[in-house]
Structure 1
Amino acid sequence: MDVEMRLAAAVNDERAAKEMLAEAKTALESASDKAAAKLEVAQCRELGVAAKNEVERLRSEVKRVAEVDREAGAQVAYGDAREVAAGLVACGWYQTNTPNGALIFKNRHSGAGMDYQAAQIRLGALEASCLAKYSKVIKHVEFRPDCGEYIDLGGGTWAINSYLDVSGGAVDELEGTAFGSSDVGMFIELCGRVWPLECDRDQGVKWLAHMVQKPEERPSVHMSVRSAHGTGKGLLFRTMDLVLHKQAVRLDSLEQYLTRFGVGDDGNLFTMVDESKSIGGGAYRALKGKMADDTNMIEKKFENAHSQRVFSRLFFASNDKGANIPIEQDDRRFYICQYAEHKVSKADSKAFGSAYSSWLESGVISDIRDYLAGIDLGDWSPHDAIETEAKREYLGLCDTGADHLIETYEFDVMNQNLWDDHAEHLGYTDGFTYQELLKNRDSHFESKLQAQGWGKNKRHSCNTSGKKAMARSRGGLNGSQVVEFVLAKCGSGRVEAGYSRC
């Protein structure tokens, strides 16, 4: 007999014993033979105690059997725990921790999240336990064209790889877009408008093709494309954004790229920096490492900063004919293209842009991708910037007289007298005096000085002599040191008690 059935019978026996005891106690009150009646009560009480003990024993046995069954069931279930967890992981679930260390589950496909208690309700207690025991512990998301779906960080922790393969059309099929065969002549025409010079076009198209063919190899050479407004730079970005499965980003300014929480390096193969302009060499110095290194620090809001591989190619776009980003004379990172005017006219460029946009929506993305995948890269190197005629002209625009004077200035204190003597000594006269440069907005003299570490022009005081002087300094000199230097170089006529014009 099943233990639960025996427990039910024992409970009935206990109930019957209680009823017999009650009847015996009632009969005892009216019985003429008290001794016999008391014996009957005692016997009924013994039967009740025995029935109660049996019920307790059977209840313990039921509990023990239940525990055994539960353990046995758990053993069977946990024998398949990895399989259960694998099924949930395939659906996109993984485990991670909140900033305070609490376990949570997230879904990489839907973005849904839930804590352990919610997982027990939503998925089931067993499934939540299996997921906690055997799913991957994810620390963060990384963009790695050179890795698989998960990236082993060591110590039993992983990162999710957010990269989508750009070499095939799987994502196009998933998005339900029908792509048929098509002539890519419109795309070739667009490239010709962005890069009218044959050398630039050859380098530019191969630079784009390299993204498709070798997304895991980040170039150290990046494009600087200057052209009239509306010649096709934006259309080229739209095209590559689709070709690369939206793994591209367009930024509105150079400052947006260089900001602390910039997104240009994270999760992208192609980063277009629109309206990329800077004054002085500060931006170039900040860019040098970001352009050449394939590993940068990635910092996102509410997350710890971490070192991560970078695969983004930088496309600096500008409508200026001049040097939008002043670069060093020995630069090896920028490919400078010839400035592109409208092929025919502004109206013609606008008409082409409208026709191109319609063509782009007609189902040609796979064909453009296939075209780029078939480009012969040959001896083309992603790490050697060719010094074109356009770059030589560009470098000439960067090497201004003011820049040269700033670079060759030897003191750590500067005022009008010291600067003018320096400029005259090097043969710079008209237009290069301290006051002329400050008044000439196109020289960006003040910004260039600050970019080189110079402080603002201000009044400095000497604590011992009480004398004062107007000057700027670098290297952390204090007021007394600045005044004493001006006194030594310019004479007492330039430093007075209270104020000096220098």
Structure 2
Amino acid sequence: MARMFPIGEERKVILQWLAHMFQRPAERPSWHIMVTSDHGTGKGYLYKEILMPLIGSNQVSLCESTYSNFLDKNSIHLFNTQLCILDDCESTTSRNVYGRMKSKLSEEYASVEPKYENRTTVPVFTRIWLNSNKARPFPIESQDRRWFAPSYIELPEDQASTAEYLEGMDAYLADDGLTQIYSYLMTLSLDGFNPKATYQTDTLKSIISLSSSFEEEEVKEWCEENKVFKLESLQSRFSDKPDLAKTLALNYCQTKSIDIDGSGRSNWWIPKGWKPKQAKEYYAEQQPQRLL
């Protein structure tokens, strides 16, 4: 842990987060761990050789390559699991990943729909640990309190040192090391640990700075997906910042008084440069039933 997380305060938070999972498995934290690093730093060793054997492989889910598997409606990553590893999923500039992930990080109940089974609501105890080889796995909004991001892990100058160190770890684990680690986590003090609140590290602030103008990009994406809409639809989507959403949408949209749905003229928001005829044709293609 000291090799991966050399800053003592950050290491303490992560150790307590892990210990909390073992000592109070039914108390789900509302914030999770985001580890960014170079390739080959050994971060995969922690969950494959230590956490999975200690927790039980049937209670650890692994999502690799893409976030869509985790976010899919048929995903069972939060179903009867204690820990979910998001391992080196593709870096993305889309704000949708963060937006869709919010509820999965903090809610204590989730609606799951395993393939060929009926949708059901289940309690969630799953902690999320994200590993990424990118400085910014995905854009994060400025007020985020859902992730604890320790300092970026850099590869030691001697690249062989990690492999050599892990050989020693293999020997330690084979010699009853897992029992010692389990005992350590079960007896580690949780004084000062708050499963419902954490602080923004400098690394998280850096990730947020790389996600600058989060709100504008979020509104832009929504406008691109909807194209023809009423102001109340936009402000309903961004109910926590309706006036800001309206202001930002004006960068990409224009308002026109159009009889677009047969109910008479009213103000509609359409992309800049579009003519009313183009907007009516688009609306008819997207929602033909309204024009019957």
TM over 0.5: yes
Contact 2:254 2:269 in 1 (8 A): no
Distance (Å, rounded) in 1 between the aligned partners of 2:32 and 2:270: 46
Deviation at 1:288, TM superposition (A): 0.7
CA shift in 2, pair 1:198/1:302, >3 Å? same
1:244 alignment partner in structure 2: 55
TM-score (norm 1): 0.44
| Residue 360 (1) aligns with residue 130 (2) | no
Q: CA deviation at 1:406?
A: 4.0
Of 111, 116, 141 in structure 2, the residue corresponding to residue 302 of structure 1 is: 116
Give the CA deviation at 1:345. Answer: 2.7
1:280 lines up with 2:94 in the alignment? yes
Alpha-carbon contact 1:296-1:308 (below 8 Å) kept: yes
The DSSP-based 3-state class of the residue aligned with 1:398 is: coil
From the superposition, tell whether residues 255 and 345 of structure 1 become closer, same or farther in structure 2 (CA, over 3 Å): farther
Change (3 A) 1:249 1:360: farther
Supply the AA of the counterpart residue of 1:202: K
Q: Which ranges of structure 2 fall in alignment gaps of 5 or more residues?
A: 228-251, 276-292
Aligned to 1:235: 45
The structure-2 alpha-carbon separation of the partners of 1:485 and 1:378, relative to structure 1 and needing over 3 Å to count, comes to: closer
Alpha-carbon distance between aligned partners in 1 of 2:75 and 2:183, rounded to the nearest angstrom: 31
| 2:254–2:270 Cα contact (<8 Å) kept | no
Pair 1:213 & 2:23 matched: yes
2:279 aligned residue = none
Offset from partner CA, 1:304-352 (integer Å, 9 cap, x none):
111000111000110112x212111111111121101124532111222
Q: In structure 1, the residue corresponding to 2:19 is in which secondary structure?
A: helix
Quick check: 1:326–1:398 contact (8 Å CA) kept in 2? yes
Deviation of the 1:224 alpha carbon: 0.5
Distance in 2 between the 1:230 and 1:484 partners? 46
Q: CA deviation at 1:387?
A: 1.6
CA pair 244-473 structure 1, distance change in 2 beyond 3 A: same
| C-alpha contact 1:216 1:311 (8 A) present in aligned 2 | yes
C-alpha distance in 2 between matches for 1:484 and 1:331: 30
| Mapped contact 1:455–1:474 kept (Cα < 8 A) | no
What is the DSSP-based 3-state SS (H/G/I as helix, E as strand, rest coil) of the residue aligned with 1:454?
helix
Q: What is the identity, as a one-letter code, of the residue corresponding to 2:186? A: A
- Mapping of residues 137-286 of structure 1, within 5 Å: 191-238=1-48, 239-246=50-57, 247-252=59-64, 253-276=66-89, 277-286=91-100
Question: Do the aligned partners of 1:193 and 1:343 also contact (CA within 8 Å) in 2?
Answer: no
What is the aligned partner in structure 2 of residue 341 from structure 1? 154
Structure 1: which 5+ runs fail to align? 1-190, 410-448, 458-471, 489-502
Larger Rg: 1
Q: Whole-Å Cα distance in 2 between the matches of residues 484 and 456 of structure 1?
A: 10
Distance 1:378 1:241 in 2: 26
Task: Give the counterpart letter for 2:181 in structure 1.
Answer: I
Indicate if the aligned counterparts of 1:254 and 1:275 stay in contact, CA closer than 8 A. no
Q: Counterparts of 1:300 and 1:368 in 2: how far apart (Å)?
A: 34
Cα separation, 2, equivalents of 1:359 and 1:283: 39
Aligned residues: 240
Distance of 1:358 and 1:195 partners within structure 2: 22
1:455 to 1:270, Cα distance in 2 relative to 1, 3 A = closer
User: Residue 283 of structure 2 aligns with which residue?
Assistant: none
For residues 79-98 of structure 1, what are the alpha-carbon distances to aligned partners after superposition, in whole Å with 9 as ceiling and x for unaligned?
A: xxxxxxxxxxxxxxxxxxxx
Distance 1:369 1:312 in 2: 19
Cα distance in 2 for residues equivalent to 1:225 and 1:302: 35
Q: In structure 2, what is the Cα distance between the partners aligned to 1:405 and 1:386?
A: 25
Pairwise CA distance, 1:473: 6.4
Q: CA deviation at 1:368?
A: 1.0
Of 174, 190, 208, which residue of structure 2 is paired with 1:377? 190
1:380, CA displacement in angstroms? 0.7
* Equivalent position SS for 1:218: coil
Change (3 A) 1:310 1:393: same
Kindly state the Cα deviation for residue 483 of structure 1 after the two structures are TM-superposed. Answer: 7.9
Q: The residue matched to 1:249 in structure 2 has which SS?
A: strand
CA distance in 2 between partners of 1:313 and 1:406 (Å): 28
Structure-2 change in CA distance of 1:473 and 1:299 (3 Å): farther
Query: Is 2:36–2:152's contact at 8 Å kept on the other side of the alignment?
Result: yes
* Per-residue deviation, 1:361: 3.2
Q: Does the C-alpha gap of structure 1 residues 385 and 486 become closer, same or farther in structure 2, counting only changes over 3 Å? A: same
Q: Which has the higher contact order (CA 8 A, sep 6+)?
A: 2
Q: 1:399 to 1:487 in 2, by over 3 A?
A: closer
- Provide TM-score, normalisation by structure 2: 0.73
SS in 2 for 1:215: coil
**Equivalent residue letter for 1:225:** V
Contact 1:299 1:306 in 2 (8 A): yes
2:180 maps to a residue whose letter is D
In structure 2, relative to structure 1, the CA distance for the partners of 1:248 and 1:333 (3 Å cut) is same
